[in-house]
Amino acid sequence: MRILADYHMHTPRCKHAVGPLEGYIEKGIALGLREVGFADHNPLPDGVGANVRMDEAELDDYVADVLRLRERYRGAIEVRLGLEMDYVEGMEPYLAEQRRRYPWDYVLGSVHYLDTAGRQISWPRNFAGDIHTLYARYYELVRQMAATGLYDIVAHVDLPKRTGRPAAEPEREMVTQTLAVIARSGMSVEINTSGYRHPELAYPEAYPSVPILREILALGIPLTVNSDAHAPDHVGTQFPAIEALLKDLGCRSLARYAGGHRESYED
């Protein structure tokens, strides 16, 4: 089946993406996509992770810019308003207000931090510690995130493999437990193709790995396919390869979002 939407595109407001918003949209049009969505990194209180995300004062303008571009490109491509909203343990009231305040088409849920201060990231480079403990904490937080009901899509569900140390057999049970919670939550999971751009991975692949993807499909969890674009040229990264993979795995539909509601599409 053909992938028609890319819902994970960033903007320069997160301080580590480049290029005008129009460039991302134009790339989506050139690829023949029917929908693109911006999902920039959300602000967090007390300056947590402030070097890699929007400031509080920028959120209104981010929303206004995306809604303006939705109107500008109407008839050429659908532009969706999303947010990549980090889950941080203990910040649920703050995050719930962020979810409530704006007309999001969807919210991606990410776990980038293993602590509440934003100092322990979930994929430290050159990690030499106990990898099982890191994976256990990460998946504990993903389960907590899914249980909040604040999110629509789980982003890069096996992100800790970016340490260069993929999950092994001891992590299999915690992945299975986490996917069961996600299935009950009604969330979808993204296939995130940014892994093809990440040199830290043991070998280029999307998030999640194929064994996890098989398990997701067996559980009937809906899927989206997203590029996690941080530059216009990233939009649609490796989508033809993922289309071929999904065909081989027997996946016949993907999820689409509008107005906070999910539908499935086939093509």
pLDDT digits (tens, 9 = 90+) for 239-255: 999 999 999 999 999 99
Parent domain of 234: 5-265
The model's confidence at residue 196, banded by pLDDT at 50, 70 and 90, is: very high
The percentage of residues in the chain with a pLDDT greater than 90, rounded to a whole number, is 95
Scored b (16 or more CB within 10 A) or e, 1-19 reads: eebbbbbbbbbebbeebeb
- SS3 of residue 193 by DSSP: helix
| pLDDT at residue 109 tops 80 | yes
- SS3 of residue 264 by DSSP: strand
Average pLDDT of the residues of the chain: 97
More confident residue, 167 or 198: 198
Q: For residues 228 and 246, what is the distance between their CA atoms, to the nearest angstrom?
A: 19
Average the pLDDT over each of 14-28, 38-52, 164-178, 219-233 and give the range with the smallest value: 164-178
pLDDT for 169 equals 84
* pLDDT tens string 110-146: 999 999 999 999 999 888 899 999 999 999 999 999 9
pLDDT for 167 equals 87
Evaluate whether 221 touches 154 at the Cβ level (below 8 Å): no
Evaluate whether 221 touches 253 at the Cβ level (below 8 Å): no
Q: For residues 117 and 102, what is the distance between their CA atoms, to the nearest angstrom?
A: 25
* DSSP run (H or E) holding 54: none
Tokens of 194: 């940014």
Number of domains in the chain: 1
Return the CATH number at 151. Answer: 3.20.20.140
| pLDDT at residue 267 tops 80 | no
pLDDT for 126 equals 84
**What secondary structure does DSSP assign to 84-139, as a single string?**
EEE--TT-HHHHHHHHHHS--SEEEEE--BSSSSS-SBSS-TT--S-HHHHHHHHH
Q: pTM for the full model?
A: 0.97
